[in-house]
Amino acid sequence: MPARVDTRAAPVVPRAADAFVLDRLLERLEGVRKCGRGHMARCPAHKDRNASLSVAEGSDGRVLVKCFAGCDVLAIVHAVGLEVADLFPERIADRSPEGRVAQREAYRQSGWVAALGVLTREATIVAIVAGDVAAGRVPSDEYLTRLRLAIERIESAREVLA
């Protein structure tokens, strides 16, 4: 009789050298603040005046990085002196179809968490400008520029959630 294969997801253990990569990344960023289950910060890959970089830890130990202004992950991690490989835990031991499905789902859900954090923050910007307009105040050019940025970020978050 063949031996039974354990198809349960094996726990993901970060490499010892990378156990604190999230903290190392966050300490190298500017304007870091907690946002939901993750953090928002100014992106080091472009001249970012407002926080457009979402950083979170996935349920599988990966560090998830998303610039809502469009910078790619490689540019972001290189700007702070890290490598893309530093964002990942040790390779996943469960290579079964069920394990791969579970890992894909965990990745999607962590992207949703980051997108929801962005939606929360940017919806606040929209509400502030809408309140000013409702009160009869004309938004300044600076407010309108920030409103356009909020709309772009909401659209990016919507694409992640779609």
Q: What is the pLDDT of residues 113-140, one digit of tens each?
A: 888 888 888 999 999 999 999 999 999 9
Q: Answer yes or no: is 89 within a domain.
A: yes
Q: Answer yes or no: is 7 within a domain.
A: no
Total structural domains in the chain?
1
Q: What is the largest CA-CA distance in the chain?
A: 79
Q: Answer yes or no: is 1 within a domain.
A: no
Indicate the pTM of the whole model: 0.49
Give the residue-averaged pLDDT of 94-117: 79
Q: Answer yes or no: is 3 within a domain.
A: no
CA distances from 33 to 27, 50, 63, 101 (A): 11, 12, 16, 32
